[in-house]
A and B are shown apart, each in its own frame.
Chain A
Amino acid sequence: MRYERPSTMKQASALLAKEKGKAFVLAGGTDLLVRLRTGFIEPDLIVDIKRIVATREIQSTAAGFRIGAAVTGAELGEHAKLQKAWPGVVEAANLIGSKQVQGRCTMTGNLCNASPAADSVPALVAAGAKAVIVGPKAKRTIPVEQVPVAPGRTSLRKGEIVESILLPKRPARSGDAYLRFIPRTEMDIAVVGVAVSVTLDAKGVCTDARVSLGAVAPTVLLVPEAAKALIGTKMDKAALDGLAKACSAACQPIDDKRGTREFRIKVAGVLARRAAQIARRRAGGK
């Protein structure tokens, strides 16, 4: 196994593109090293992207935020402006692992692992985030929900790396929230995760919404029916009932060591309702 630490994205992409064996990108490493240690993967090349300046920055732009691929969970939590604009995204990223893991883990890594239970991904999907992908020949930008295609598999092509994640600018009276269910209070993988992002008008009517579910299907789901249940309402009980129902209906979960099918379906609705109320409050709704 070789370890490379390029200083530009171009070099990184070139290293990955020309590698004949198995190559992996190292950002936070909190998943990669576990898989390496347990013999789950046997890389020939590891490309550490943390020396690439662009990957380490959170930029506040006219269009919103650009979050570098190697920005850690802890750094996200310390960025007051980001925290204010996208509290749900930040809280989701901050739920990944322990304080120790927060010092290293990244949202981009969370996305590229393509786990359906990744905590930050539903929040990113609900936020309408996009991934900026650098390849050997071109750069492209796609919605984050198009990155994972199956458990452990992404749409990235050989030599491609996610350089950053873009979060859009926030309209007034907007709020987002992420809730997950875990059996303990910390250190678990989500059994169900729900993210809700809403925008309200001056009267408190929901004008825009995105709802996303984690750990209930092979990939993180964007659930337009759930959003529909909220849009045009004041997010009252009936709307929340509709939301919960739509979320439960969208679930295609499995029974596994972390939870049953029935449990996931029921709890997806419960958490959706709770997350929506938090998002609404954050949007200034009364």
Chain B
Amino acid sequence: MSGIHVTTKINGDVVEYVCDADETLLDVLRNRLGLTGAKEGCSTGDCGACSVTLDGRLTCSCLVLGAEADGAEIGTIEGMAKGEELHPLQRKFLQHAALQCGICTPGILVAAKALLEHNPKPTETEVRFGLAGNLCRCTGYDKIVRAVLDTAEEMHRSARGA
């Protein structure tokens, strides 16, 4: 099998790689690029642990071929904090203890960020349905939902204040 040459942008940086036709973007991120923040929980799109954005749209990287990323822009958990400054969601997740084991956390943060970008002031129900594609087995989701709602509130307040 001959490799496919792909040029893409990940978290704003141009990245080139060669992958096989049947490799998923998740495989590429984890095994070729060392970006192991996206986790493989199921490889069938049911758990959301591998969530990334592809051209701004939330998706499971296990449901994308590595070859498809050519010319695209990808966002992963590794690009969420800006230098030393955590994204407000990352900060709030820590404050609310919205993680126990933490395996689902990267996927949930990526999904929550996408959610707030589309809907900056979601209701609890909207948060719950917005995150329905991300399984968490430790927390019962309570503190996750609170952390997302609190982040929205804070971002809203600081946007108004600014």
Direct A–B contact in the complex, CB atoms closer than 8 angstroms: yes
Distance between Cα atoms of A99 and B62 in the complex (Å)? 14
B22 part of interface (Cβ distance < 8 Å): yes
> Contact between A100 and B22 (Cβ–Cβ < 8 Å)?
no
Q: For residue A93, give the distance in angstroms from its CB to the closest CB of chain B.
A: 15
Residues of chain A within 8 A of B134, CB atoms compared:
98
B162 part of interface (Cβ distance < 8 Å): no
Q: Count residues of A near B (Cβ-Cβ below 8 Å).
A: 27
Residues of chain A within 8 A of B57, CB atoms compared:
72, 74, 103-104
> Contact between B48 and A34 (Cβ–Cβ < 8 Å)?
no
- Of the 9-residue stretches A25-33, A121-129, A151-159, A272-280, which lies at the interface with chain B? A25-33
Distance between Cα atoms of A98 and B130 in the complex (Å)? 8
> Contact between B21 and A99 (Cβ–Cβ < 8 Å)?
no
Q: Count residues of B near A (Cβ-Cβ below 8 Å).
A: 32
Assuming the contacts A99-B58, A101-B45, asked whether A48 and B68 have C-beta atoms less than 8 A apart, the reply is yes
A187 part of interface (Cβ distance < 8 Å): yes
| B contacts with A: majority SS | mixed
Assuming the contacts A2-B21, A37-B44, A99-B111, asked whether A104 and B63 have C-beta atoms less than 8 A apart, the reply is yes
Q: For residue A186, give the distance in angstroms from its CB to the closest CB of chain B.
A: 4
> Contact between B63 and A186 (Cβ–Cβ < 8 Å)?
no
Q: Which of B58-74 contact A (CB under 8 A)?
A: 58-60, 62-65, 67-68, 70
A17 part of interface (Cβ distance < 8 Å): no
- Kindly supply a per-residue 1/0 record for chain B positions 47-63, scoring 1 wherever the CB is within 8 Å of any chain A CB and 0 otherwise: 01001001001111011
Residues of chain A within 8 A of B1, CB atoms compared:
1
A204 part of interface (Cβ distance < 8 Å): no
Residues of chain B within 8 A of A3, CB atoms compared:
4, 21, 65, 67
Residues of chain A within 8 A of B132, CB atoms compared:
98-99, 185-187
Knowing that A33-B63, A46-B65, A104-B64 touch, tell me 4 more A-B residue pairs with CB under 8 angstroms: A33-B45, A37-B44, A46-B21, A98-B134
A residues with a Cβ closer than 8 A to B are: 1-3, 5, 26, 29-30, 33-34, 36-38, 46, 48, 50, 72, 74, 97-101, 103-104, 185-187
